[in-house]
Structure 1
Amino acid sequence: MTPSYSRSALVAALVSLAVWGVPASVSAAPVRSAEPVPGIAPPGADETAVYKDVDGRIIPQADLGRTATAQRFGCTPVSGRDNPHRSGTGVAASGHGWWDKGNCDNNRANVFNCLYEWYTDNSWVQKACSPTKELKPGGGSSNRTVARHDCTDTERTSWRNHVDVDVIGEIDTAEKPMNQADVNCRVR
């Protein structure tokens, strides 16, 4: 005796397979993972995430200063930065960079900062960098760098603001400290 199935039962079974997926043992085609999208960084992302430039190329850890050790000779400036935030001038993610002398002698440094947006493939993707500016120590609205990128929507997303300070005429340490914050700004 052959079992009979109603048309509605067959349609329901097909819809279920479409919604819940076909088991790997049944499927002949490989399952593709979803495209990475911006989102909120999970706890522990610091240890495993990669950094990418605006073209999607991986940025070596040494270029971020994360693997650099303090140099035997030289000075250590204090890299100033704020949390990434929505710009007061519109719907944009924004971050600033500045410096203080620390134990350095010179009173000028080349400073720049970059903004990175979190993506679900466990990466921080560079979205904007400020121009490099020669700054005196101390910060303030006219004595800092600004990285900014317009938002495509206001969905909450994790951002990082990395700052690089290169003291003019002195050897200094290579760290690029960062601040991280969740901001109502998403770039796709």
Structure 2
Amino acid sequence: MLTGKLRLTAIAVLASLTIGGASAAPTTASDRNGDARPGAAVPGVAPSGSDASAVYLDSAGRAMDMDVAEEAGTARQPTAIGCTPVSGRDNPHRSGTGVAASSHGWWKKGNCSNDRAKVFNCLYEWFTDNTWRQQACSETKTLKPGGGSTHRTAARRDCRGTERTSWRNHVEVDVIGEIDTGEKPMNQSEVNCRVY
């Protein structure tokens, strides 16, 4: 049993840890909301060379197998047999309203025969624990090849701050009625938009 003075000291230490001094826990991928706790991962600008060990997380914080090459915008060549569509995408950017990160996806036929594909795109924000966290995905649309405002998808996420942050746009294309390869191309850019 603690004596009076020792017990008061223990209570004071415990209170300072509980009330104002959250301990600096190691940063983990499960800190997916990028909260402001000391040591928690937060959004930022991805340093060069960070791709080699980067992890992609879905909106629930689960690791994803993105199968991307070390440089954004390129993908490993798949070994599957099938046609190769061209996945069109723009760089992540501030939307016309200026309050959201935005990106688009479309496709071109490449060497595929069919003229319809299911297309969607997702936005990923970089965090200081070297994770790319999925912040928004478009709905999946059946599109003709080509792009333009009527033949594309749009992913969008409202900004909570205007600090410069790295974002990636990933586009997925599945040609209808035809086996196609599974490239997962990305475009990356820094945008004055941050989600906390």
CA distance, structure 1, for counterparts of residue 171 and residue 66 of structure 2: 15
Q: 1:63 to 1:57 in 2, by over 3 A?
A: farther
Q: Which amino acid aligns with 2:184?
A: K
Gapped runs of 5+ residues in structure 2?
A: 1-22, 27-38
Q: Which moved more, 1:89-98 or 1:62-71?
A: 62-71
Superposition RMSD in Å: 2.0
CA distance, structure 2, for counterparts of residue 114 and residue 78 of structure 1: 17
CA distance, structure 2, for counterparts of residue 77 and residue 130 of structure 1: 19
Q: Between the two proteins, what is the percent identity of the paired residues? A: 67
Question: Does 2:25 align with 1:32?
Answer: yes
Which of 96, 100, 108 is the aligned partner of 2:108? 100
In structure 1, the partner of 2:59 is: 54
CA offset at residue 69 of structure 1?
A: 1.8
CA offset at residue 66 of structure 1?
A: 5.8
- Which digits, 9 at most, give the CA deviation of each residue in 1:97-149, with x for residues without a partner? 00000000000000000000000000000000000000000000111000000
* 8 Å CA contact retained: 2:67, 2:184: no
CA offset at residue 59 of structure 1?
A: 1.1
CA distance, structure 2, for counterparts of residue 109 and residue 48 of structure 1: 32
SS state at 1:110 partner: strand
Within a 5 Å distance, the mapping from 1:78-157 to structure 2 comes to: 78-157=86-165
Task: Return the TM-score normalized by structure 2.
Answer: 0.76
SS state at 1:46 partner: helix
Task: Return the TM-score normalized by structure 1.
Answer: 0.79
Q: Which amino acid aligns with 1:32?
A: A
* 8 Å CA contact retained: 1:75, 1:171: yes
Q: How many residues align?
A: 158
In structure 1, the partner of 2:48 is: 43
CA distance, structure 2, for counterparts of residue 120 and residue 135 of structure 1: 36
